[in-house]
Amino acid sequence: MVFPHKKSDWADDLKSAESVFLRIASSICFNQKLILVCDDRERVKEMFCYHDKISFVQFDTNDTWIRDFGPITVYDEGERKLIDFRFNGWGGKFDATLDDQVTAYLHKNWHFGISPLIHEQMVLEGGSIESDGKGTLLTTAKCLLNPNRNPDITKEEIEAKLTELFGLKRILWLHHGELIGDDTDAHIDTLARFIDPETIAYVTCNDPDDPHYEELKKMEEELQSFTTLEGKPYRLIPLPLPAPKYKNGQRLPATYANFLIANHVVLLPTYEDPLDKEMVTLFKTLFPTREIIPIKSTRLIEEGGSIHCSTMQVAK
């Protein structure tokens, strides 16, 4: 994770942002180790009452959405490798010069052990891809094929590169679905997520007057057309949109799809919405062996992301 700081977009209300990140970090490191990148190591360290499972790393960043500039873990014949794709601030929308250096810095300073780091020149964000761990990658054409990412690479070349790097059997492309207020050009982790290789949870809108309605209905039809590697229809779990949330008159990209699966737990974003309790109950059935930890994420979506966006897992 990267902790909020006064030079990031959180500066207008840093204390409220810190409280959410503290909650997320504490929920994670109760069950596993955490690398926490900070602008001021000692300042942030004082906020935590226990330190044995947290590595506090001082390094300047532009922002905190490490899902999109952190390392992506793969295994090659049993050997763990980390891939460091280029990060260009979601198509040049924001300065990402510092963020793009974080993974290399962590690797150089042995925070990933002896695992080799592959520096890949292709632009790719972790939030733009979703894997079932069995060879299927789910993604969106609006992001991966956007000319603001890799203008000189064709769809076929992107497929070939990702197939090689990730050991894929296939890529499933969604051509519909995007949330208002989302700066990422339709990251998949705001729209549809694998629960297991046969189950996909996806965002849905039941209000015909909501501007999301038609686009998410088309996305649902695309998901219904997909099949597993065995040729079976996916078990599809609808995740209703919470009631519209706004900041300064702008709608925010609130979504329950931006959950995080960590060791023994699932961190579920909530939005002070009547649907929150229903979603907690649903996720308890989807992940019966894990504790479901609801985390109020309204402050996160004010800056365009949520829990999954704020974190990046590194496999053992």
- Which residues form the catalytic set? 309
N-to-C CA span, the chain: 17
User: What span, in angstroms and rounded, lies between the C-alpha atoms of 242 and 298?
Assistant: 11
Decide: residue 209, CB within 10 A, 0-12 exposed, 13-18 middle, 19+ buried.
exposed
